[in-house]
């Protein structure tokens, strides 16, 4: 059910103002409202119809950067802890969906991380060994085992438990509905100006009214106010296709979430109605919507070609094609926490390919920070963290 939005017709105060009604804003609103805080959410468009709606909703704990790369950047212990946090985030999200009985089509899934590009079977085996050392789940599948068990013709793969998929728009709407049940109010408004110099943060809306809040959470995706900056952040565009429904025999085993170990990786999943969603062909630019639309036919053909190379049993038709712009970072980790120089304002962005997983993590980090329970490991995702060492 689409959560009802109200117009802002007066100035008022709130414990927490969340700017952005996508999945991060919805997760944060549900979390904070369930703890008894007075929460309001503002967005200039219908909830979930920004970056959330463009998500392919592969809820994975495996990150854009391999554990091997993160170990080079930050050392093994820190890298391993980051991976464990991500694993716990997916577990926490699925538990939240189940305990709140959120209707979003969530399905527990295994993942297949395939050798691709410069990552051969040897490098993938080293990644698996590092994961085993970190206590992470997964089985290394060599070429023959992968071919026999999944019908996939690649050098090797890591087969892991602990991931999921879902309908991202339904998830967002269900979370906002749950937040509203706890007293949160969703408003149809756009935040224009921010002032956090006083005892509270004052946010001016597009209609001239102001909201005074003890804390502000910026959950606006890659479109952040000018005062939120990071040298690690950059903008990219991604593309995706969905095939017509396939016969059950034309899908790979268990509907595992598939992604590649290459830098410019592709990824694929199945849907409850047996479609195949294939994504990738990223462009490391902030492409305008019109330019993305113009590029979509060629991108769709490229994704169909990739799909045929991955799984030749699929009907090579793109029934749906879409694209989206998103933020990513140099180290593949999100930017979450207090905005430097702006007390009482928190931000969460730079998610890369792990938007919903990191959205859950952000809701918990920001919730703890607001409650005065900041933890040392929050620094791993700090907006002003130092640039990492270069990975090979």
3-state secondary structure of 39: strand
The residue written with tokens 């849907």 in the block is 271
The C-alpha angle 276, 282, 287, rounded to 5 degrees, equals: 120
Residue 13: the pLDDT is: 94
Alpha-carbon distance of 69 to 63, in angstroms, equals 10
Euclidean distance between CA atoms 68 and 79, whole angstroms: 8
Q: How many Å apart are CA 251 and CA 268, to the nearest integer?
A: 11
d(CA 156, CA 143): 5
**Tell me, what DSSP letter sits at residue 335?**
E
Residue 287: the pLDDT is 58
Partners of 212 in beta bridges? 13, 202
Evaluate whether 6-54+169-229+332-380 and 58-164+232-329 have a shared fold. no
Closest alpha carbon to 27 in 349, 328, 326, 357: 357
Q: Please give the C-alpha separations between residue 132 and each of 91, 96, 126, 371, in angstroms, as whole numbers.
A: 19, 27, 10, 35
Check if the beta carbon of residue 188 is closer than 8 Å to that of residue 6: yes
Residue 288, pLDDT score: 67
Q: What is the pLDDT at residue 326?
A: 81
- pLDDT number for residue 49: 66
Residue 77: Cβ within 10 Å count: 10
pLDDT at residue 72, as a whole number: 95
Cβ(103)–Cβ(93) below 8 Å: no
* pLDDT for res 285: 62
Measured between alpha carbons, how far is residue 26 from residues 79, 173, 283, 367 in Å? 28, 8, 28, 13
Low-confidence stretches of the chain (pLDDT < 50) are none
Residue-level pLDDT at 69: 94
Whole-number pLDDT of residue 324: 79
What is the pLDDT, as a whole number, of residue 198? 80
245, 265, 280, 326: which is closest to 116 by C-alpha? 265
> Which architecture, in CATH terms, is 58-164+232-329?
2-Layer Sandwich (3.30)
Measure the CA dihedral 367/67/238/3, to 10°.
-20
Task: Give the model's pLDDT for residue 250.
Answer: 86
245: phi then psi, degrees, rounded to nearest 5: -55, 135
Residues facing 193 on adjacent strands? 204
Angle, helices 355-370/76-100, rounded to nearest 10 degrees? 90
CA-CA distance, 184 to 36, in Å (whole number)? 10
- What residues does each domain of the chain span? 6-54+169-229+332-380, 58-164+232-329
Q: Sort strands 185-188 and 191-195 into parallel, antiparallel or unpaired.
A: unpaired
Q: Are 164 and 109 in contact (CB under 8 A)?
A: yes
Structure confidence at residue 262 (pLDDT): 80
CATH of 6-54+169-229+332-380, one of 1.10.3720.10, 3.50.50.60, 3.30.70.1230, 3.40.50.300: 3.50.50.60
Q: How far apart are CA 83 and CA 76, in angstroms?
A: 10
The answer to whether 280 and 264 are in contact (CB under 8 A) is yes
Handedness of CA 204, 209, 212, 218 (dihedral sign): negative
DSSP 217: E
Which two three-digit tokens encode residue 26? 């919805």
Tokens standing for 174?
A: 């269900």
What residues pair up with 176 in beta bridges, in sequence order?
none
Say what the pLDDT of residue 352 is: 83
Q: What is the pTM of this model?
A: 0.92
Exposed, middle or buried: residue 46 (CB in 10 Å: 0-12, 13-18, 19+)? middle
207: left (phi over 0), alpha (psi -120 to 50) or beta: alpha
Angstrom distance (rounded) from CA 193 to CA 195: 7
DSSP characters over 82-110? HHHHHHHHHHHHHHHHHHHT--S--EEEE
């Amino acid at each position: 059910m689409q959560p009802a939005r109200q117009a802002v017709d007066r100035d008022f105060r709130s414990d927490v103002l969340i700017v952005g009604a996508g999945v991060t804003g919805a997760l944060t609103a549900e979390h904070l409202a369930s703890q008894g805080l007075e929460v309001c959410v503002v967005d200039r468009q219908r909830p979930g119809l920004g970056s959330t709606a463009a998500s392919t909703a592969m809820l994975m704990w495996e990150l854009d950067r391999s554990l091997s790369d993160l170990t080079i950047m930050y050392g093994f212990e820190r890298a391993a802890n980051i991976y464990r946090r991500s694993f716990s985030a997916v577990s926490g999200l699925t538990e939240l969906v189940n305990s709140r009985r959120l209707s979003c089509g969530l399905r527990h899934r295994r993942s297949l991380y395939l050798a691709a590009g410069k990552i051969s079977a040897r490098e993938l085996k080293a990644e698996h060994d590092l994961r085993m050392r970190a206590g992470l789940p997964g089985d290394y599948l060599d070429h023959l085992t992968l071919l026999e068990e999944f019908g996939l013709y690649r050098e090797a793969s890591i087969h892991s438990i602990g991931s999921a998929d879902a309908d991202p728009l339904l998830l967002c709407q269900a979370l906002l509905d749950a937040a509203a049940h706890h007293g949160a109010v969703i408003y149809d408004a756009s935040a224009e100006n921010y002032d956090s110099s006083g005892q509270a943060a004052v946010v001016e809306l597009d209609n001239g009214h102001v909201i005074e809040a003890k804390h502000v959470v910026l959950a606006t995706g890659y479109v952040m106010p000018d005062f939120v900056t990071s040298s690690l952040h950059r903008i990219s565009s991604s593309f995706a296709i969905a095939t017509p429904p396939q016969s059950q025999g034309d899908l790979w085993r268990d509907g595992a979430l598939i992604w590649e170990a290459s830098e410019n990786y592709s990824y694929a999943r199945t849907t409850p109605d047996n479609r195949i969603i294939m994504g990738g062909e990223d462009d490391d630019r902030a492409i305008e919507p019109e330019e993305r639309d113009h590029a979509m036919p060629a991108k769709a053909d490229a994704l169909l070609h990739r799909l045929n190379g991955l799984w030749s049993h699929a009907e090579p038709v793109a029934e749906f094609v879409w694209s989206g712009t998103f933020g990513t970072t140099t180290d593949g980790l999100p930017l979450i926490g207090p905005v430097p120089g702006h007390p009482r304002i928190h931000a969460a962005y730079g998610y890369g390919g792990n938007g919903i997983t990191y959205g859950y993590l952000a809701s918990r980090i920001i919730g703890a920070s607001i409650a005065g329970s900041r933890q040392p490991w929050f620094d791993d995702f700090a907006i002003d963290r130092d640039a990492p060492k270069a990975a090979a």
